[in-house]
């Protein structure tokens, strides 16, 4: 039996594994009907708690082309979820005997990670709220790899709603890992979230640099453009720096996104004018050789006149989702060997067995489904202790740290807190919360009355 692997985040794959998947996808694409011998008798279960066209159908097409079968729950309102069944119980039932792999889409951020904790079979994240969409990212990277021959060092512009697009979040992490140069031209008010920017800084050495977007023309005229590029001399030497920032000389790909209105909150201002992309905008000096990408569905952000332009690859992009998802399924089911070093398990994730849930993100799975969910966090720093929710990746506000061994709690920045073993840490938002959870102040530190 192959080792159980999940695809919850794009981080679950090493760069050599990603490149190996591309090679297999290219082979599958040459004749998609020639691979039905790989997965006969195996079944994929599509659990879609949110609407989908391309992701669900491309996964189901991929499984069928591999010779397997498909179970579809495309409307979870007609399943036991409508009776209150938890996600954890659903995946245990489906993974028990019904299927061999689960493809999950869910509205709550971190849902796929929770499912992976309980599933006896591989779980594939097909989108979890505004968090991540790793298989779309693999599809997007595969398209760049085919169109440009490489990913490292290329220049990619990300435009539109960068705040709520889970596709963008996964994509930007992957581009940073490959060493690509990223230009953000967001719809005003819909910039990359703070937790995404923080992670880019901490894990990939990426710092935002003001960009001179004059050569992008109308596309960037109403936004503050910025570069996200690895801070290395050989990277920065590619740019011309002036009073307006790093000049954007050329672009290899422009990735457009629609407004993710289904995720807007009451605090979001209505959009009266959204970024537009047509032939006129694509005549900008730095965009003349750029391929145009979009995860689809689109609304009005890309004009139909661009469909016939040879630079537009968004329909090719959707079609190529089938061979890359064939490769993903065949790999997770142990039917192909990538023959490269796997990504080591991320040892920074820790489960909290006691104490209140420190995550306050209302769309996190730890808040929307409280049964079967233990708070999970990922340590970003030990000095001082700083952590992110292990489900939704939002930074956790925890000025106090409890220790399950001693029963004491300490200020986060204290020397004593730094000595607590990661698996004994409890994150606490206040002294009152610490006392209510059964912790007592450490010797010499009295709790505030």
Q: How many CA atoms lie within 13 A of 354 on its CB side?
A: 17
Core vs surface per residue 16-25: b (16+ CB within 10 A) or e: ebbbbbbebb
Measured distance between the N- and C-terminal CA atoms of the chain, rounded to whole angstroms:
58
Pairing of strands 291-293, 253-256: parallel
Q: What is the pLDDT of residues 8-25, one digit of tens each?
A: 999 999 999 999 999 999
Mean pLDDT across the stretch 155-160? Answer: 91
Annotated active-site residue in 54, 210, 311, 418: 54
| pLDDT, average across residues 152-165 | 90
Q: Which of 6, 133, 155, 177 does the annotation list as catalytic?
A: 133
CA dist., res. 185 & res. 166, Å (int): 16
How far is the C-alpha of 61 from the C-alpha of 178, rounded, in Å? 29
**E strands within 198-353?**
206-212, 226-230, 240-242, 245-247, 253-256, 291-293, 349-351
Q: How far is CA 306 from CA 3, 71, 215, 224, 281, in A?
A: 45, 37, 20, 25, 10
The residue from 83, 234, 299, 339 that is catalytic is 83
Based on the residue annotation, tell me whether 410 is a catalytic residue of this protein. Answer: no
What is the average per-residue pLDDT within 69-92?
Answer: 79
Residues in the chain: 449
Q: Provide the pLDDT confidence category of residue 76 given band limits of 50, 70 and 90.
A: low
292-312 mean pLDDT: 91
> 133 catalytic, yes or no?
yes
Residue 123, pLDDT > 70, answer yes
Is residue 85's pLDDT more than 80? yes
Decide if pLDDT at 42 tops 90.
yes
Cα–Cα distance between 137 and 10 in angstroms, integer?
Answer: 7
Name the band, by pLDDT with cuts 50, 70 and 90, for residue 199.
confident
Would you say residue 346 has pLDDT above 80? no
Highest mean pLDDT among 34-38, 226-230, 372-376: 34-38
Catalytic (active site) residue 234 = no
Domains of the chain: 10-134+321-332 (3.40.50.1370), 135-141+148-312 (3.40.50.1370), 349-441 (2.30.30.20)
**Main-chain phi, psi angles of 9, to 5 degrees:** -135, 155
Q: How sure is the predictor about 345, in pLDDT bands with cuts at 50, 70 and 90?
A: confident
> At 230, is the pLDDT very low, low, confident or very high (cuts 50, 70, 90)?
low
Asked whether the predicted pLDDT for residue 410 surpasses 90, the reply is yes
Average pLDDT of the residues of the chain: 88
Short-list 249, 252, 251, 271, CA closest to 260: 271
Active site residue 372: no
Q: What string of DSSP letters covers 92-106?
A: HHIIIII-SEEEEEE
Catalytic choice (6, 24, 55, 325):
55
Q: Which of 5, 6, 56, 105 is catalytic?
A: 105
83 labelled catalytic = yes
**What is the pTM for the complete model shown?**
0.88
pLDDT, position 231: 58
Choose from 47-56, 75-84, 121-130 the range with maximum mean pLDDT. 121-130
């Amino acid at each position: 039996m192959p080792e159980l692997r999940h695809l919850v985040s794009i981080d679950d794959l090493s760069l050599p594994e990603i490149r190996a998947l591309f090679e297999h996808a290219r082979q599958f694409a040459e004749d998609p009907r020639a691979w039905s011998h790989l997965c006969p008798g195996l079944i994929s279960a599509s659990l879609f708690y949110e609407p989908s066209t391309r992701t669900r159908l491309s996964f189901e097409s991929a499984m069928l082309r591999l010779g397997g079968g498909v179970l579809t729950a495309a409307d979870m309102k007609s399943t036991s979820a409508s009776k209150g069944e938890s996600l954890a119980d659903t995946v245990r039932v489906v993974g028990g005997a019904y299927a061999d792999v689960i493809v999950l889409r869910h509205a709550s951020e971190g849902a796929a990670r929770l499912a992976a904790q309980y599933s006896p079979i591989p779980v594939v994240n097909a989108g979890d709220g505004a968090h991540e969409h790793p298989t779309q990212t693999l599809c997007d990277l595969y398209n760049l790899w085919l169109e440009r021959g490489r990913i490292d060092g290329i220049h990619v512009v990300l435009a539109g709603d960068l705040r709520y697009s889970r596709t963008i979040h996964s994509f930007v992490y992957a581009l940073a890992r490959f060493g690509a140069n990223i230009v953000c031209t967001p719809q005003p008010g819909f910039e990359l979230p703070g937790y995404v920017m923080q992670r880019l800084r901490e894990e990939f050495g990426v710092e935002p640099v003001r960009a001179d977007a004059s050569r992008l023309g109308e596309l960037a005229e109403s936004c503050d453009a910025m570069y996200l590029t690895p801070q290395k001399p050989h990277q920065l030497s590619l740019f011309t720096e002036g009073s307006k920032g790093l000049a954007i000389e050329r672009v290899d790909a422009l990735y457009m996104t629609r407004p993710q209105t289904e995720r807007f909150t009451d605090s979001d201002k209505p959009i009266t004018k959204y970024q537009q992309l047509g032939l006129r905008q694509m005549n900008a000096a730095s965009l003349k050789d750029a391929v145009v990408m979009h995860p689809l569905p689109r609304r009005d952000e890309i004009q139909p006149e661009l469909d016939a332009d040879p630079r537009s690859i968004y329909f090719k992009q959707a079609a190529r989702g089938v061979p890359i998802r064939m490769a993903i399924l065949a790999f997770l089911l142990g039917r192909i060997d990538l023959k490269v070093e796997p990504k080591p398990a991320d040892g920074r994730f820790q489960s909290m067995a006691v104490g209140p849930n420190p995550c306050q993100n209302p769309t996190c799975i730890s808040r929307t489904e409280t049964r079967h969910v233990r708070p999970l966090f990922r340590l970003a720093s030990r000095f001082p202790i700083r952590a992110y929710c292990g489900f939704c990746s939002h930074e956790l506000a925890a000025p106090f740290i409890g220790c399950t061994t001693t029963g004491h709690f300490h200020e986060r920045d204290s020397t004593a807190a730094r000595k607590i073993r990661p698996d004994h840490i409890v994150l606490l938002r206040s002294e009152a919360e610490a006392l209510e959870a059964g912790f007592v102040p450490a010797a010499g530190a009295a709790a505030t009355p």
